[in-house]
A = this chain, B = another copy of it.
Amino acid sequence: MDSALRPFAPAIPDRLAAETVQAMDAADPLADRRSLFALPAGLVYLDGNSLGPPTVTMVERYTDFLVNEWGARLIGGWYEGWMALPERLGDRIGRLIGAPAGATIVADSTSINLYKAARAALALRSDRRVVLIDEADFPTDRYVLAAAARDAGMAVRAMPARRLQEAVEADVALVAFSHVDYRTAAERPLAAIVDAAHAAGALVLVDLSHSAGVLPVDLADSGADFAVGCGYKFLNGGPGAPAFLSVRPDLLGETRSPIPGWMAHADPFAFAGEFEPAAGIRRFACGTPPVLGLQALAIALEAFADCAIPALAAKARRLGSLLLATLAAEGAAGKARLISPTAEDRRGAQISLAHPHAAALMAALAERGVIGDFRPPDIMRFGFSPLILRYEDVWRAGRILARLLLEHETQAGPAV
């Protein structure tokens, strides 16, 4: 197990003194981004993969919206910018995930968007019978895909994600999975799965919740047909931020949302008798755009200006490796089981460790100012949002975790 914790050694210096990690921070081209965010003093926040923090501009900018847009323009706000927010923010997220302009919309929640995208995909393959899913995917993905399949008279076939590629047969309508596994942070080979699916005539729906804003995605290059994702994780849009949905442009004309809300109409303010879908990605809108959430997301996305996603990914993964290196340097390697890929280029911005007393350890970490999260049955998750974290933060968290793991073993006996 020791060996599993150390393959990144070449990238991280062996000696992990404070000076060493401080030098890493000094050399970090993204170091200045941290000052864009309002973070509680003294906290090491390793949960940006669950909920990102607000920017320091959020209060002033949001107040400006409340006072000068909602309060001053009232209904006129719809004619002066709000109406275009879903597509405008969609394009900004599109640039982060490699989607072309006009392919992405911000609307509803990830769960609702999964349903809309899945039903739309299945309608394009109505002669087929099966939806392939990752049996360990995030619950909402599995539940919603099963419901969409039932609605289309199809069956779900669940399997380990690593088998999806080989399992696409002629009866498969859709392959649906998360780009990054929420528990292990394993990154799935998006382009390869798309190739396999398309070769068999199937479509692909990928959930980018754990990669948007932190990993290179190249949605267009991969050829993926539908993508959805979350606004409140690495995009920092705030709790329950609206989600996004992206459709391959050459499919757009022939595809439809299963829930034709008025904002998906070609001319919503004609209040027409018959539903006629908007020409572009707007057809995947539904109800009135959630401006209160869209405004916060718009402010949050400004922190990505001039950021190259590969640089964000490199730092996020290196922070993960640093956590592991710190545990090893503090003699705690092997005291918890690494369930994330050891190779940086096969994992997302997260390290997951399994431990039988994971919940108690995460609570003890929180008492000491280190916030990560617990996922049943026994997983400690640490997320590495590269915009907000210093190398020194992660080193400090690693030292505290190492001490807890060693103390825990002394008190409770070997845990693994």
Contact = CB atoms under 8 A, between A and B. Distances in A.
Most chain B CB within a 10 A radius of its CB, from A47, A72, A140: A140
Given A54-B70, A74-B47, A109 B239 contact: no
A154 to B, nearest CB: 14
A240 B293 contact: yes
A249 interface: no
Interface string A60-72: 0011001100111
Contact of A262 (B140, B239, B258): B140
A205 to B, nearest CB: 15
Contacts of A67: 38, 59
A173 to B, nearest CB: 17
A10 interface: no
Contacts of A201: none
B109 A371 contact: no
Interface string A364-401: 00000001010110000000000000000000000000
A144 interface: yes
B286 A82 contact: no
Contact of A144 (B58, B147, B230, B261): B261
A339 interface: no
Nearest to A146: B275
Nearest to A60: B63
Contacts of A71: 38, 40, 53-54, 58
Interface stretch (A210-218, A266-274, A403-411): A266-274
Given A151-B151, A261-B143, A82 B239 contact: yes
Contacts of A232: 288
Most chain B CB within a 10 A radius of its CB, from A108, A230, A259, A273: A259
A296 B292 contact: yes
A294 B74 contact: no
A246 B343 CA distance: 49
A275 B143 contact: yes
Interface string A278-321: 00000000111111111010000000000000000000000000
Contacts of A376: 269-271
A288 B53 CA distance: 17
A112 B291 contact: no
Interface in A217-260: 230, 232, 238-243, 258-260
A335 interface: no
A50 B75 contact: yes
A156 to B, nearest CB: 12
A139 B292 contact: no
Contacts of A240: 82, 287-294
28 contacts: A45-B74, A47-B74, A50-B75, A54-B70, A58-B71, A59-B63, A62-B63, A62-B66, A77-B239, A109-B290, A110-B288, A111-B261, A111-B262, A112-B259, A138-B262, A139-B268, A140-B262, A140-B287, A143-B265, A238-B291, A239-B292, A240-B287, A240-B288, A240-B294, A270-B376, A271-B375, A290-B293, A292-B296
Interface of A: 38, 40, 43, 45, 47, 50-51, 53-54, 58-59, 62-63, 66-67, 70-72, 74-78, 82, 108-112, 115, 138-140, 142-144, 146-147, 151, 230, 232, 238-243, 258-263, 265, 268-273, 275, 286-294, 296, 371, 373, 375-376
A-B CB proximity, top 9 nearest? A109-B287, A111-B261, A111-B287, A239-B291, A140-B262, A240-B290, A240-B291, A143-B275, A143-B260
